[in-house]
Structure 1
């Protein structure tokens, strides 16, 4: 039976459509900002807390757009799956790597193909979700 990590992840895009990704210290995969829920914490509250801890950015909980949940393999922990609450939000100021964040990366979805340093949540769920929403927007 795999270990399950319950966490929140944030989808943050700039005006050019690039995604803000982070790489945590001691890991090799880029992923959305976010992290594990503390006891009694909601997915949204964890997203707000993690955004401030990791990037120094305050976004009020009502400004989060709920994009649903995803279950799948963890990026940096073998035999572990994640139960992720996913949110989108704007970026009121430039992010600054803090806490356990080693590196920030702005990546356009079109540049993701073939990369081996991206987390499964990004490659298996978020990028397809963005592609689907952009396809609908183009044909809407």
Structure 2
């Protein structure tokens, strides 16, 4: 029997939906994993979701965003991609970027995905089940 209390099996994250002019979505894959997902990361105890998003986008992709331009989309839940038996609770934001992202930190790969071409690609459950639908697929 797992001794982790059920409530602590939730991972709170902030994540960005970033699309280019043609509607392709920016997805990242962390080192040592196979699933592509939205850029973002875990919300630290002292952070607000938008603070986390700013920090993570800068650390992972070298992006500096204007928080006033990030549009909150709401709180969404899905199975965690890389932690079995965990759920992610994601604060999602639509974000516009001015510069080209460059993978850094734990990001091993970055792609621009046409939402209708996602078949066969290993996607995190949040991306596969929610983000593609939100982006109009």
Using structure 2 for the length normalisation, give the TM-score. Answer: 0.91
Deviation at 1:116, TM superposition (A): 4.5
Which of 122, 125, 131 is 2:127 aligned to?
122
Q: Does residue 88 of structure 2 align to residue 90 of structure 1?
A: no
In 2, Cα distance between equivalents of 1:39 and 1:77 = 19
In 1, Cα distance between equivalents of 2:66 and 2:136 = 27
Structure 2 match to 1:59: 65
In 2, Cα distance between equivalents of 1:104 and 1:121 = 17
Which of 96, 101, 105 is 1:99 aligned to?
105
In 2, Cα distance between equivalents of 1:118 and 1:69 = 19
Using structure 1 for the length normalisation, give the TM-score. Answer: 0.89
In 2, Cα distance between equivalents of 1:91 and 1:60 = 9
Segments of 5+ residues of structure 1 without an aligned counterpart are: 133-140
Give the ranges of 4+ consecutive aligned residues of structure 1 lying more than 6 Å apart after TM superposition: none
Segments of 5+ residues of structure 2 without an aligned counterpart are: 1-5
In 2, Cα distance between equivalents of 1:38 and 1:89 = 20
* Aligned CA-pair RMSD: 1.2
Aligned residues: 131
